Amino acid sequence: MLTTTEKTNERGSEQDDSTPETITQTSQQLVDAPGNEPSPALIEDVLNYLTTEIHRTAQKKGWWEDGRKPSECIALAHSELSEALEALRHGNPPDDKIPQFSGAEAELADTIIRILDMAGAFGWNVAGALVAKMQFNRGRTYKHGKQF
């Protein structure tokens, strides 16, 4: 999934050219894009990088040693959404692990991490699907033509 060139380090394991600095630069490109409209390819590249990095981290931390089923991964992502709801029910205090963010923000981030980890594990192109869905939704009618 990673679009950057992969290299082999001294130990023979693969690593990519992306660094936190590269991601910061890419994020700045997203913000500085003409009309604040980054290209779909750039969005997909950033999401693919995150997918690869998130899944590699989960593997290194042992979360995939015994494998996982897609249904288990969906349940784990759902549990993160439930934790975001719980944070809101308790007034959305600062998160206990990253207190510069609210509980809801941290749990929503965990949800995205779970989803992208799953995408990396199963080879699903969630990044491409997200970009395609965003483009599709731009062309939809107001409230999708529903009477709410």
How confident is the model over 22-43, as pLDDT tens digits? 666 666 665 665 567 789 999 9
C-alpha 65 chain-centroid distance: 21
Neighbours of 42 (CB within 10 A): 14
CA distance 60 to 96: 24
38-89 pLDDT, tens digit each: 899 999 999 999 999 999 999 999 999 999 999 999 999 999 999 999 999 9
Q: Which residues of 10-25 are buried (b: 16+ CB within 10 A; e: fewer)?
A: eeeeeebebeeeeeee
| 8-state DSSP, 145 | G
DSSP tag of 139: T
Q: How far is CA 137 from CA 5, 23, 65, 119, in A?
A: 32, 27, 38, 22
The pLDDT score that the predictor gives to residue 11 is 32
Residue 3: which pLDDT band, with cuts at 50, 70 and 90? very low
Going by pLDDT thresholds of 50, 70 and 90, the confidence category of residue 12 is very low
67-63-8 Cα angle (round to 5): 95
The full 3-state SS of 90-124, as one line of letters, equals CCCCECCCCCCCEHHHHHHHHHHHHHHHHHHHHCC
